Amino acid sequence: MSTVEAARPERAKAWWDRTGPGIAVAAGGAAVAMAINRLVPALSALTVAVLLGVLAGGALPAVLSHGLRWATRAFLRAGVVLLGLQLSLTEVVRLGPGMVAVVVATVLLAFTGTLALGRLTGVPRGLGLMVATGFSICGASAIVAMDSVARARKEEVATAVTLVTIYGSAAIAAVPFLGSRVFGLEPETLGMWAGLSVHEVAQVVAAASPAGAAAVGTAVIVKLTRVVLLAPMVAGMGVLERRAGRTAAGKRPPIMPLFVAGFLVMLLLRSADVVPVPALTGAKDISTVLLAAAMFGLGTSVRVGALLRTGRRGLLLGLLATLLVGAVSLTALTIIGR
């Protein structure tokens, strides 16, 4: 056995000694979040995991920080890849060209409008970009994917995820009330509005549930169509970041991160109908666990005191962005006669 081969087990043990405890804590946080989600299905496991991480963050010993950072980065990327297996281009086509156009228009207007609102409210550029991405596409998963090319500060990423949690949770109650009581939307249209305007998939399901099972089905398809736009949006921003010469640690940001390319591959495999149904079910569960563990890790980096002292502008941006995506999507649905 060579000296290099003999050293490998020692390096692996040293890596695990440094990283393992944090990974174990992140996994434990995910397990608790999943258990709460089973007891209260209206609460997204990802939302609960973020909140648990925020509550636990200040009390955790520093020795866990390396493992929690590793879990946040690695598990989020793996979870985003597996998220692609929940999407099918066939379902997107079934919406019809008019509805697909509404989805694309809503995402683009919400994204660019939130960027403008970020400048108006005076939040840092990184936070504005993270909020624009998360609120227009698919919440925390989109935020982390965009961070891979834009390189926002860790605090800005965590704050954006917290804002997604706050305003997405508020939308669970607001969307069905406004849709049915104020705007008089039919159940199918309310489902479309929920899919267009609410941030996380689980939040979309909860928001559309009062309108019935058919509305939930429609809402999920519309929401997942928004998720399809994650890859081109990240790739487009990657091109802009490279042209602008923005760097992180001396490196140019990638046009499309490898894990986003993996997301696209999984999407194409699902669309080609070559993945067995049991594998799809298993991949969905694994993706949820990975993302919940990552969200717990990300939540531990949030300091509530600092957020309250400096986050007023961020809270205002989150409110304005939520109102923007809700108004734009509802207007678009009205234009196409829904």
Residues facing residue 251 across a β-bridge? 248
Query: Rounded CA gap, 225 and 100, in Å?
Result: 8
pLDDT of residue 120: 94
pLDDT of residue 4: 47
pLDDT digits (tens, 9 = 90+) for 159-169: 888 888 788 87
Query: How many domains, the chain?
Result: 1
pLDDT of residue 322: 95
Query: Rounded CA gap, 280 and 262, in Å?
Result: 15
Query: Rounded CA gap, 37 and 288, in Å?
Result: 11
Query: Rounded CA gap, 32 and 40, in Å?
Result: 12
Nearest residue to 229 via CA among 107, 115, 114, 77: 107
* Per-position pLDDT tens, the chain of length 338: 455 455 567 777 788 888 889 999 999 999 999 999 889 876 778 778 878 888 887 788 888 888 998 988 888 888 888 888 887 888 778 888 889 999 999 999 999 999 999 999 999 888 999 999 999 988 877 888 888 787 777 778 878 888 887 888 788 888 989 988 889 899 889 999 999 999 877 788 778 878 887 788 888 889 888 888 888 888 888 888 777 665 544 455 566 677 778 888 888 898 888 889 889 889 888 988 998 898 888 778 766 665 666 578 888 999 999 999 999 999 999 998 77
Tell me the HSE value of 14 on the side-chain side, using a 13 A CA sphere: 5
Query: Rounded CA gap, 161 and 166, in Å?
Result: 9
Instruction: Please give the residue range of the domain that contains residue 235.
Output: 3-335
Nearest residue to 106 via CA among 213, 174, 193, 37: 193
Owner of token pair 């793996």: 78
Q: What share of the chain is helix, strand, coil (3-state, %, to 5)?
A: 85, 0, 15
pLDDT of residue 224: 83
Query: Rounded CA gap, 175 and 166, in Å?
Result: 14
pLDDT of residue 115: 95
Asked if 320 and 117 count as a contact pair (C-beta separation under 8 A), the reply is yes
Owner of token pair 């591959």: 265
Token pair listed for 245: 């010469």
Q: Residues 162, 164, 168, CA angle at the centre, nearest 5°?
A: 125
Token pair listed for 254: 């990638």
Residue-by-residue DSSP string for 248-267 = BTTBPPPSS-HHHHHHHHHH
Query: Rounded CA gap, 306 and 310, in Å?
Result: 6
